[in-house]
Amino acid sequence: MKKLINVLFVAAGLVLTSNVASAQQKFGHINSDEIYAVMPEAKTAQTTIENLAKTKQTEIDKMINEYQTKLKAAQDKEKTLSEANKEVVMKELQVAGQEIQDLQKRIEDARTKATNDIQAKQGEIFPVINQKVATAMSAVAKEKGLAYVFDVSASQGFNNLVYFDGGEDITAAVKTKLGIGTTPVAPKTIKK
């Protein structure tokens, strides 16, 4: 009888221990900067973006050189201004001034287009890579039984939650506590 009671206590202790252990949630962390630094697809994508940026910058530099040449020519022409050639030189300076303004606008437009092209290329290339990393991270987190994974990389702002499985969402309770309506609102993105 005494042995039976001891066995029941041990069994109850084991059940209680397993319930407590399963109730605990495990946390993990990842440094995505380290992953992207060695990931072949990320390196290739980064090289592609850098090459595109260099090409765009070369085009802009050519326009800037042309701008500087025309500006210097206009300044030199202005130095030749005299009463005898005033009318001719003023017309030439007016034409040169218009060309310089047009070129300045083309440079600004080229910079805007370059920025847009680079962002479009990043938007085309990186989501596939990001999805691949997220899939691998989720698989490892599930294999290890992790409930939460934080990204501790500097580029992500340290300690950003990048994976969660389970846990209690207390958003509605906090809204209620604050007296805020529970109508769903699209989350706002925070710009860094």
Nearest to 51 by CA among 126, 118, 116: 118
Q: How many domains does the chain contain in total? A: 1
Residue that wins the pLDDT comparison between 170 and 130 = 130
* pLDDT(134) > 50: yes
For the four alpha carbons of 119, 124, 125 and 130, in that order, the dihedral sign comes to positive
> Domain range spanning residue 133?
25-178
What does the pLDDT read at residue 183?
Answer: 57
How does DSSP assign 67-101, residue by residue?
Answer: HHHHHHHHHHHHHT--TTTHHHHHHHHHHHHHHHH
In a domain, 125, yes or no: yes
* Range name among 113-122, 139-148, 183-192 with the lowest pLDDT average: 183-192
In a domain, 185, yes or no: no
> What local confidence, expressed as pLDDT, does residue 188 receive?
47
Does any domain span residue 3? Answer: no
Inside any domain, residue 144: yes
C-alpha 70/C-alpha 99 separation (Å) is 8
In degrees rounded to 5, what are phi and psi of residue 179? 75, 25
pLDDT of the residue at 174: 67
pTM surpassing 0.85? Answer: no
* pLDDT computed for residue 166 by the predictor: 65
**62 found inside a domain:** yes
Considering the domain boundaries, does residue 160 fall inside one?
yes
